[in-house]
Chain A
Amino acid sequence: MSLVWVVLLILFVVIVLSVIATYNRLITLRNRIDNAWAQISVQLKRRYDLIPNLVETVKGYAAHEKEVFEKVTKARTQAIQAGNIKEQASAENMLTQTLKSLFAVAEAYPELKANQNFMMLQEELAGTESKIAYARQFYNDTVMRFHTLIQSFPSNVVASIFGFKERDYFEIEETSRESVEVKF
């Protein structure tokens, strides 16, 4: 009789401990996701701040390429105003595209390409873009680990009891590595 109770007690303790461990892992991952998202936001903001300077610099050399400037400015505004992660992702894709056309314009002006300020802005923008890519990679990896935990047994039981919800991945069109390189 007493042996049964001991076994049951040990079983109970083991279960409680593993529930606590799973719960803590879920919390850790969720906080890490929030933190990773904050990282992305910091880099996105840095990019928004750089764009007006870039536009001004290019304007100084190619004032009549109005259409491109307007597109870039509009895409920037949309990206800043984006509400959720999905909207943000599509707005960022748009912004990346318009920035590409801005750099394509710059190709036609050798003096602009040689301008120290322009070169610096270009490097900062390229650096910020790769940081966004890496922050996104880390964010998505963490979301994936979070989802694995939520979906697999027996952690899914703990997750559903405490109401842990799946997060959105931050998806941006994969630009090939080579295109990053061309900017130099």
Chain B
Amino acid sequence: MYEQISSNVRKSWAMIAIFVVFVVLLGYIFGELTQFGYAGVIIALVVAITMSWTSYYYSDRIVLTMSRARPVKKEEFPYLYNVVEGLAIAADIPTPKMYVIEDTAPNAFATGRDPEHSAIVVTTGLLEKLNRVELEGVIAHEMSHIKNYDIRFATLVVVMVGSVTLLSDWLLRSFWWGGGRRRNEDRGEINVILMVVGLILAILAPLIAQLMRLALSRQREFLADASGAMLTRYPEGLAGALEKLAADREPLEVANKATAHLYIVNPLKNLKGSVNNLFNTHPPMEERVKKLKEMAFEAN
């Protein structure tokens, strides 16, 4: 478990580093192709650092706003509060802040940057449709994401994948209006090479970023299922909850492609199929439930 934590902390920093390098590279190509020169690199560096900074400190707020989550008081949902407080004791972390999304589709996610700055978000549908042991299972799953520092990584990814996509798009557009111009004749060849590299980067980067994100988050779900079950000492609770959530076909309106991987089950309820597997944010539900039931069997 502790190895998992340090590996997640490391991965978060690596992610930021790759992101900064990538943006600077894009900026360089951008600068060379248009007549900005090194100003392109400087602009890109400023953009990259500002974006990393914002996503490190504010990504949780961005995600919460994007999902239209509102904070709740204990008087409003004492039931939810008691469950979250209890599991925070079991996990030995400070009680996370609690938010709800007004939506009948049952789902939940966690966000923040470390256990001291974390939030658990549930939909009102989740509170209505699950019983206490099932809700405990779901909250324990989210609590594990918080304890493992998955939240920092997953939330950073939301902002960064979004930014990479945006910047690549920006570069592609710049070819239209900037790429045709040449500063002088002898730089023509370099320009062609830069243009090809830039084009490849701009097209592939968002795709690779997306696939990386999906593969990582699938792995993480299994891990959080297992450590969540350890926390409640009752894998059947989470298994039951997952079955109920899978059976519910209602899509969650406030979720989108950028935030889908945060949720405990895919909120978009997309189609099944082998091509889709590559683009799935979550491991297949049958497999998750099966693993949990095996754990329950071993425990008895």
- Report A138-149 CB contacts with B as 1/0, cut-off 8 Å: 100000000000
Is residue A126 contacting chain B, with contact meaning CB distance below 8 A?
A: yes
Let me know if B11 is at the binding interface, CB within 8 A: no
Given A181-B131, A181-B133, also A123-B82 (CB < 8 A)? yes
In the complex, whether B178 has a CB less than 8 A from a CB of chain A is no
Report which of A124, A134, A178, A184 forms a contact with B86, defined as CB distance below 8 A: A134
Residues in chain B near residue A52, CB distance under 8 A: none
Say if the beta carbon of B216 comes within 8 Å of chain A: no
With contacts A120-B78, A177-B133 known, is A138 near B83, CB below 8 A?
A: no
For the complex, give the distance between the alpha carbons of A123 and B85 in Å: 13
B21 in contact (CB, < 8 A): no
Q: What is the total number of residues of chain A having a CB less than 8 Å from a CB of chain B? A: 20
Q: Are the C-beta atoms of B89 and A123 separated by less than 8 Å?
A: no
Q: Does B233 contact A (CB under 8 A)?
A: yes
Specify which chain A residues have a CB less than 8 angstroms from the CB of B76 in the assembled complex: none
From residue 112 to 133 of chain A, which have CB atoms closer than 8 A to chain B?
120, 123-124, 126-128, 130-131, 133
- With A138-B92, A181-B132 given, is the CB distance from A123 to B79 under 8 Å? yes
Main secondary structure of the interface of B (DSSP, over half): helix
Q: Which residues of chain B are within 8 angstroms of A54 by Cβ–Cβ distance? A: none
Q: How large is the interface on B (under 10, 10 to 19, 20 to 34, 35 or more residues)?
A: 10 to 19
Contact B90 A177 (CB under 8 A): no
Residues of A within 8 A of B81 (CB): 127
- Which residue of B78, B89, B237 contacts A138 across the interface (Cβ within 8 Å)? B89
Residue of A nearest to B82 (CB): A127
A37 and B90 CA atoms in complex are apart in Å by: 13
Q: Which one of A124, A138, A178 has the greatest number of beta carbons of chain B within 10 Å?
A: A138
Least distance between B57 CB and chain A CB atoms (Å): 30
Q: Is the CB of B233 within 8 A of A127?
A: no
Q: Are B82 and A126 in contact (CB under 8 A)?
A: yes
**Inside 8 A of B30's CB, which chain A residues have their CB?**
none
Which residues of chain B from 53 to 79 have a CB within 8 Å of any chain A CB?
A: 78-79
Find chain A residues with CB under 8 A from B82 CB.
123-124, 126-128, 130-131
Query: How far in angstroms is the closest Cβ of chain A from B132?
Result: 5
Contacting residue for B90 out of A124, A126, A134, A181, CB 8 A:
A134
Q: In the complex where A123-B82, A124-B78, A131-B82 touch, is A39 in contact with B89 (Cβ < 8 A)?
A: yes
**Contact surface of B with A, Cβ cutoff 8 Å:** 78-79, 81-83, 85-87, 89-90, 92, 131-133, 136, 233-234, 237
Given contacts A130-B86, A131-B89, A184-B132, 19 further A-B contacts (CB under 8 A): A39-B89, A123-B78, A123-B79, A123-B82, A124-B78, A127-B79, A127-B85, A130-B83, A130-B136, A131-B82, A131-B86, A135-B89, A135-B90, A137-B90, A137-B233, A138-B90, A180-B133, A181-B133, A184-B131
Pairs across A and B, CB under 8 Å, 13 listed: A120-B78, A123-B78, A126-B132, A127-B81, A127-B85, A130-B136, A134-B87, A135-B90, A137-B90, A177-B234, A180-B133, A181-B132, A184-B132
